[in-house]
Amino acid sequence: MTASDAAAPSRELVLIGGGHSHVAVLKSFGMRPEPGVRVTLICRDSHTPYSGMLPGFVAGHYDFDEAHIDLRPLCIFAGARFVHDEAIGIDTAARRVICGDRPPVPYDVLSLNIGSTPSTADASGADVHSVPVKPINGFLAHWDRLVQRVLAHDDVRSLHICSVGSGAGGVEILLTVQYRLTALLAAAGRSAGHLRFHLFSDTPIILPTHNASTRAKFMRVLAERAVALHLGQAVVGVERDSVRLADGTGMPMDVVLWVTAAGAPGWLADTGLQRDGRGFIAVRDSLQSVSHDGVFAVGDIASVLEHPRPKSGVFAVRQGPPLADNLRRVLCGAKPMAFRPQQKFLSIITTGEKHAIASRGSWSAEGDWVWRWKDLIDRRFMAKYNDLPDMGSRATAAAGGMGVAPDAAAMRCGGCGAKVGGDVLRKALNRLAPVKRPEVMIGLEQPDDAAVIQPPPGKLLVHTADQFRAFIDDPYVFGAVAAQHALSDIYAMGAEPFTALAMAALPYADEARLEDDLYQMMAGAIRVLNSANAALVGGHTSEGAEMSLGFAVSGVVERERLFTKSGLQPGDCLLLTKPLGTGALFAAHMRAKAKGRWIDAALDHMLQSNGPAAICLRAHGARACTDVTGFGLIGHALEMAAVDGLTIELDLDAVPLLDGARDCVAAGIVSSLQPQNLRLARSVWSAEAAADNPAYALLFDPQTSGGLLAGVPAANARSCVDALRQLGYAAACAVASVVGSSGSAAIRLKV
């Protein structure tokens, strides 16, 4: 075995869910990486809410970032791949995680920390007409709509809001919602007198797992806040505007918060994992599944048979370190250790305002100081995962390269052209289903040395090529963006995509991982190519220190429909279909300095095809077109102006920017290509007036899979922008106008 073989990943640790235990695992593996282990986190959200701070966030005491752990930077710190998708199944026989919108992800060792949802099985209509408080991110989306509903409601008719469930979660969320809505109405100069709050429980007491002193304190608070208690009355049905009780009584109710006993997602039933009577994964005291040694489960989704405990975030937090240790042990072939959770734990429940009640065993305390104590505990916990140490080049490698150390890679044989083996290539390609075109006479199906294509009669062939290294750690998403980026040149020429040749480089790994990496990357690309009716007809694969992908693509177009960069006329408006900022954002991402939601939004734009935009632009009389990529907006606008020696007036305030792009530039983080692009500033008039504006720097920001920049007659500009936005290009707008001929290309800033 060579040094590069030893450094390449040989075991796959996959984490499903970004819960409290898994963030501890990621931090642990970041502090002490396990040689030969590749970690992948699958999570539907880039920001995971901390349950301890959810009430404070709803109450307005914390902003979004204070109450959420940003998983993308944490994954970069851990050297882990982040798969932004939802797990919907597990094939335990094949050891694969089934995802909602991408190919399955293979694992050697698997861990689940996906939380739970309140069970609605015993109440008809509750799954449709109630608002579940878990999963927390789902509740937060409902919460925004609830706020808007209350603010839009008239002050005449009563609005009834209830919580079903009188445990700590039900009591706390109802008091918090009451506090926040009252405060919002007061800020709007309105009374909250029309709001009515109710608490339902099938038990005769509130907080049944807490001591009598704590219950008494909350009974007092609920009475002071005029919350109507309906104890010992189970809700058995929920309608659009009412609830039905077990005795048949109906009560009007506008908003129903569902905070009852936790339930497990239904898809676990098809995994073959042994579960307890309530559907939760049965695990040993090692946190291992009792039926599958290679599967672990923690938090609400797990039931530790030897040590049953309530479903509480405090246990998930405590399970993190022993889970990380046992995952390492199993990955290294060692026996996992038993973990015994504590019997008693500190519980601090807030009342909405900065006031809280604490309990542990028979002890109880209340006051503003208790809230400050909780605030200190919570902030210290969050700082461990959001305030990460600077990792320098290690972060850059983790963010996208997915490779091995250069000195190790150098020992891998290069005399064969570093090609990927035939078996690996064949197996990966056999799993793909590229679109077929009748014009392809010899393509992927035949083992010939080159593809043979019959061009459509009467059409011009348009050829282009693009290739770049991985900038994101998910090969599926990277493959899709790379394909979309390559096709943009075809769309910018007004052509229809025709064929594609792939040029792929994969990080060193064993055959199974090489095959899966190639499959994942090409599956993302094929999804884009197929949707564009572009036939993949061949390509070349190789091994290297990092992942990269490119395409040589061709398109076809009638001569009279061909777009070029020339043809602008004085008076034309220049329209831009996508916002700027991918260069700065991914430079920050590679340093673990970009927020996850910024990267999510950027990827959404990068994955958006420019095909419909090109058709729309032509329909509105576009005369010239290009796509905005490596040279930035200024560079590509100058290319258009240079053909006829035109001057373009650019409205700096109109240029759309991706969320977070300004923040990155303001922090001094720009793409490595930015300094070269800035040399074009000599052709920009009035630049001095805008030099301190972060938006100015982003005019030179190199884009990956950027938007189209097209000149259309001024009379058509407004209707074209409206049509583009209806097609989903939400940021499309007019950014410049052609003001005349100057004999040489120039950009004049309007600031």
Task: Spell out the residues 6+ positions from residue 458 whose beta carbon is closer than 8 angstroms to its own.
Answer: 558
Reported as type and span, the H/E element at residue 202 is none
- The token pair at 696 is 């100015």
* H helix intervals, 155-312: 168-187, 212-224
- The token pair at 591 is 């340093």
- The token pair at 76 is 């970069």
Please tell me the distance from the alpha carbon of residue 639 to that of residue 633, in angstroms, as a whole number: 10
DSSP 502-537: EEEEEES--HHHHHHHHHHHHHHHHHHHHHTTPEEE
Phi-psi category of residue 541: left, alpha or beta, with phi > 0 → left and psi -120 to 50 → alpha: beta
- The token pair at 382 is 């969050």
CA distances for 695 relative to 167, 587, 592, 670, angstroms: 50, 16, 22, 12
φ, ψ dihedrals at 670, nearest 5°: -135, 165
Angle between helices 368-386 and 20-31 (to 10 degrees): 50
3 state SS of 322: helix
* H helix intervals, 153-275: 168-187, 212-224
Using CA atoms of 408, 591, 606, 44 in order, give the dihedral in degrees to the nearest 10. Answer: 90
Please tell me the distance from the alpha carbon of residue 576 to that of residue 554, in angstroms, as a whole number: 24
Catalytically active residues are: 416
> Which of 289, 361, 347 lies closest to 315 in space, CA to CA?
347
Phi-psi category of residue 692: left, alpha or beta, with phi > 0 → left and psi -120 to 50 → alpha: alpha
